[in-house]
Structure 1
Amino acid sequence: MAKFKKKKSGELPAVSTASLPDIVFMLLFFFMTVTVMKDDDIMVENELPTANQVQKLDKKDRVVYIYAGKPHPRYQSKYGTQARIQLNDKFESVDAVASYILAERASMRQELQPLMTTALKVDKETNMGLVSDIKQELRKVNALKVNYTTKEGDAMNNLK
């Protein structure tokens, strides 16, 4: 009778890749949950006024932000204490608002361009002359959907 012998070769068995998709998806979900999307670095003091009839904007991809107010104390030595306009992490003059809006509109998808809204985040201590100048520049480029960003609360608190 013949004996059956097992072949003993020195080869290692193939690496199992059955759990590889599980590991990849676990890493994907981990990075999706811990990643923070960068917003603008606000370089102006931005204490928003309060209002009692507030509506929330639902589509953030259609909104372009313009910040206005006194420079933050760490920038006052360079830019002074007068109210300034901030566009995309830079202080700009009122004349730059129109070109900024046109550039932001051009970077949007074609179907979203007519739906673009300009949100003004203006410090409550900023004078209305600067806001009026910004609105004049927005009219020049036909950006007529303007939103004033506020905090929810009693509007009478703004008088203090």
Structure 2
Amino acid sequence: MSKFKKKKGGEVPAVNTASLPDIVFMLLFFFMVVTVLRDNNLLVKNELPKADQVEKLQKDRSVYIYAGKPSERYKDKYGTEGRIQIGDKYTDVSQVGSALEEARRKLLPELQDKVMVALKVDGETNTGLVSDIKQELRELNMLKIIYITTPGNETDN
């Protein structure tokens, strides 16, 4: 008989899973911290026109006004005429002032005097609606207006 015994099969030892819950919770917290939630639910169709000279906007001091026809999901309820959206609800032209004041109050106090109005207007929206919005903004003395576009060649519109 031999003094030494052969090992039975080259079995791999079991993987240690003691640190697995720590890794899972670390990933969970990471994704919870870096995930950005959507601010507004877009109610209007918003295919922005193209422009070749665009700049990045400082989002901390801007209030967005969306203008366009109601999206496919809301056409039955609101019709097909151009509408104005501020925040998560439709606004009439006569109520733009109060809606903008409410949105302005949500900004930081030091930025409320330096607010910029960003117009995200659909490419097929009537210019009369945009003119009405601009007239209301003049009456509110909110004269800094930015038109949001997508990068591209303006002749492709």
**Aligned ranges for residues 10-89 of structure 1 at < 5 Å?**
26=26, 28-33=29-34, 35-57=35-57, 59-89=58-88
Q: How many residues align?
A: 134
Normalising by the residue count of structure 1, what TM-score does the alignment of the two structures yield?
Answer: 0.77
Q: Secondary structure at the match of 2:123?
A: coil
Q: Secondary structure at the match of 1:65?
A: strand
**Aligned ranges for residues 77-156 of structure 1 at < 5 Å?**
77-156=76-155
* 8 Å CA contact 1:71, 1:82 repeated in 2: yes
* Rounded Cα–Cα distance in structure 2 between residues aligned with 1:125 and 1:29: 41
Normalising by the residue count of structure 2, what TM-score does the alignment of the two structures yield?
Answer: 0.78
Question: Alpha-carbon deviation of 1:36?
Answer: 2.5
Runs of at least 4 residues of structure 1 off by over 6 A? none
Question: Alpha-carbon deviation of 1:110?
Answer: 2.2
Q: What value does the CA root-mean-square deviation take over the aligned residues?
A: 1.8
What does residue 12 of structure 1 align with?
none
Question: Alpha-carbon deviation of 1:106?
Answer: 2.2
* 8 Å CA contact 2:83, 2:91 repeated in 1: yes
- 1:56-104 deviation per Cα after TM superposition (whole angstroms, max 9, x unaligned): 11x2111111101010111111111011111111111101111111122
Q: Compared with structure 1, are the counterparts of its residues 30 and 44 closer, same or farther at alpha carbon in structure 2 (3 Å cutoff)?
A: closer
Structure 1 alignment gaps of length 5 or more: 1-21
Question: Alpha-carbon deviation of 1:113?
Answer: 1.2
- 1:102-135 deviation per Cα after TM superposition (whole angstroms, max 9, x unaligned): 1222232221112211110000000110000001
